[in-house]
Amino acid sequence: MAKRSHKTRKSRINLNELVLVAFAEDSEQAKEYEALLKTNDIPALVKPQNGLQEDVIDKFAIMVPEEFLDEAHVIIESQDAYDDFYDLALEDSEADDFGEDFFDDEF
């Protein structure tokens, strides 16, 4: 009887085959992207980019196998669009809260 490998999917990711799918501004966003991708069965790896280039200082690269790149882009863009919509909805509800001074004007 052949032995089965007990390695996890993450350990089978070959680092040479990974491509950049997105940059995260902080570790919290990087973890969210990683969890989102893994929830959708896409292997992902977060790689800190500490000062390698001037425009990516203290950012985090989200890496996926090349075969999952297109799907990962769609998932991340969809989540970003959802987050932007949610932020806009919150801003609109705050703008609808008129202060007391709004009705104090004399005509």
Span 61-73, mean pLDDT?
95
What are 17-66's pLDDT values in tens digits? 899 999 998 999 999 999 999 999 999 999 988 665 555 557 899 999 99
What are 6-31's pLDDT values in tens digits? 344 444 666 668 999 999 989 999 99
The structural domains of the chain, with segments of one domain joined by +, span: 16-96
Higher pLDDT, residue 104 or 38? 38
The values of phi and psi at residue 12, to 5°, are: -90, -5
Pinpoint the alpha helices (H) of the chain: 27-39, 69-95
Q: Do residues 64 and 30 lie in contact, with contact meaning Cβ atoms separated by under 8 Å?
A: no
**Range with the largest mean pLDDT of 56-65, 66-75, 83-92:** 66-75
What kind of architecture, by CATH, is found in domain 16-96?
Answer: 2-Layer Sandwich (3.30)
Span 65-71, mean pLDDT?
96
CA 22 – CA 76 distance, rounded (Å)? 8
Count of C-beta atoms within a 10 Å radius of residue 17? 11
H or E element, residue 20: strand 18-24
